[in-house]
Amino acid sequence: MSQATAPLVACPQCGKRHPYHSSNPARPFCSERCKLIDLGKWADEEYRVAVQDDPFQDELSGLSGKH
Ligand SMILES: [Zn+2]
């Protein structure tokens, strides 16, 4: 009666459906391995894209130069 059924969710990495349970430290991933793969992918590709040259830096130095 007190045993709640964990809802099934799809792992963001491999798409495998697994129970979303608080006993799984890698949730919402199905396993620690999928979690590491996804984090590694994020750090390796998407983070680099997000940290391109900051356009605000150029704009600020340009404004101060006009003075
Ligand atoms: Zn997975």
Confirm if 65 and 59 have CB atoms less than 8 A apart.
no
How far does the centroid of ligand 1 lie from the alpha carbon of residue 45, in Å? 19
Taking the centre of ligand 1 as the mean of its atom positions, its distance from the CA of residue 14, in whole angstroms, is 4
Give the torsion sign (CA, 25, 31, 32, 35). Answer: negative
First-to-final CA distance of the chain: 74
CA of 56 to the centre of ligand 1 (A): 39
Mind listing the pLDDT tens digit for each residue in 17-53? 999 999 999 999 999 999 999 888 867 665 565 656 6
* Cβ within 8 Å of residue 25, ≥6 positions away: 32
Dist. CA 18 → ligand 1 center (Å):
8
**Sorting pLDDT into bands at 50, 70 and 90, what band is 13?**
very high
Which domains, and CATH codes, for the chain? Answer: 1-52 (3.30.50.10)
